[in-house]
Structure 1
Amino acid sequence: MSVKTVLITGTSSGIGLATAVATARAGWHVVATMRDTAKSGALEAAARDAGVSLQIESLDVTDPSSVEACLAGLDRLDALVNNAGAGHVGTLEQESVDDVRAVMEVNFFGVLHATRAALPLLRTSKGRVLTVTSVGGVVGQPFNEAYCAAKFAVEGFMESLAPVAAATGVSVIVVEPGAVASEFVSNVGVDDDALDKAGPYAPALSSYLERTRGAFANAQTPQAVAEQLVEVLGAEEPPFRVLTSDSARAFAGTKLKDLDGSAVQQLTRTWVSQA
């Protein structure tokens, strides 16, 4: 049997880096992509330490021409892992609509660009699309309005696409981590200066940040998430939704059984309370 090929977006750090190395160790030919290949040093070092080789390519998910150029260089593709994304903390009154659009471009439209370009190859291989979303695609969270909106959009899009893609032999799966210890958190740009500018929202933002730091202190590792992604890639009949930890399952479960929304509101209000 020929070696299967997987393309992974956003592999310069975090879940993407760990998944690229883990899938290569599992015997896949890995096309590891990132917007700026000058930032590939950590990935290359991790691959050397693991004794595996990777094909590293430039791909900017927000640029359809970049996506198409990268996919055009592939003779076959058995799986796409949509992992590229960016965190964002803010609230509507204090950010511009352009700020929200930028979040949507990376976290939603980026997924669409990559998936659309990959589908013809995946139909040929009867392959699969794995999209790393978040429990933030299930439960709306304070000060994550734009980020959760993008992840909700991805979840709805993929849930709708799944039966259509399945009719052509392509499996669609969403993978929902909770808190993950990675550079993703440090890249959201919230610091003491943001608190100073929060105005009437400062007390609530302070409470949210304190709660979030506690959650990420006990976060799942990128390697643990990567192991589950590898398992799903190799599963004969993968589920549509994969939650990567017990805490993620409990958190998402609050929403999935909350028919009137009261349980979620009761929970998330405690995140911004001064009590």
Structure 2
Amino acid sequence: MTLYPIEAGNFKLDGGAMFGVVPKSIWNITNPADSNNMIDIAATCLLIEDGERLILIDTGMGDKQSEKFFGYYYRWGDDSLDKSLQKHGFHRDDITDVFMTHLHFDHCGGSVQWNKDRTGYEPAFKNARFWSNQEHWEWATKPNAREKASFLKENILPMQESGQLQFINRTGATYQDESELGFGILYVDGHTDKQMIPHINFKGKKLVFMADLLPTAGHIPLPFVMGYDTRPLLTLSEKDAFLKRAADENFFLFLEHDAHNKIITLKHTEKGVRLDQIHTFNELFN
């Protein structure tokens, strides 16, 4: 197995929304805001090369939305999914599987693109199967008013219409050791219903792709919960259980949205679980 970080593009989000009830005077220490109160956010996906399978976890925002839409997110830097794939010697047509932790636009927007004459949409990975789970798909395609702006039908329905959509065969447990993709999955419901958190065994280590369970290293303290979460009290309990286990078992946490701290480990302290070490991709992947 070989792993590759795929930089799908950076953007900015409102720091207050990212930290909920936590005051700016506190969160600004770890995630400094600009003059518009926006903080740096990454969309770092993960590519898994395992035998004949090339599995991409999440796809970023994509580029098909309007200029007005992207104007809300202050994109910065020159990273893109295609350039990052090319850097590692791949093309999007090589991808065999696209695993979506959940269907919010910043995690799955790159899964769908305009068709050639821009009259409609088509999957951006023509040879891939797209993986979600039945419960989350139902949640996303019949969205509540709070999340409706994050579940964009043009990002979601073309995957089903193409016949390329697959659902993970859930066991019903919160955590399943094995899946069709060859890695374990933790199901969490605080941010959105049945978000999937991949647990990957790699070179004797457990690498966990954190998606929106832990957006950045600044979100480690339990009360630091995003205003975007639909069930923040549930996020508290899910984070508590996960972070304790991650510290106990020395998990390596891959932070999809942290633009500056890519992989971290945790430790127990008198104040609870806190950051232990920050690692680079090269340290673990090479």
TM-score interval (norm. to shorter): 0.3 to 0.5
More strand by proportion, 1 or 2? 2
TM-score scaled by structure 2?
0.32
Larger-gyration structure (1/2): 1
TM-score scaled by structure 1?
0.33
Greater length-normalized contact order (CA 8 Å, ≥ 6 residues apart) = 1
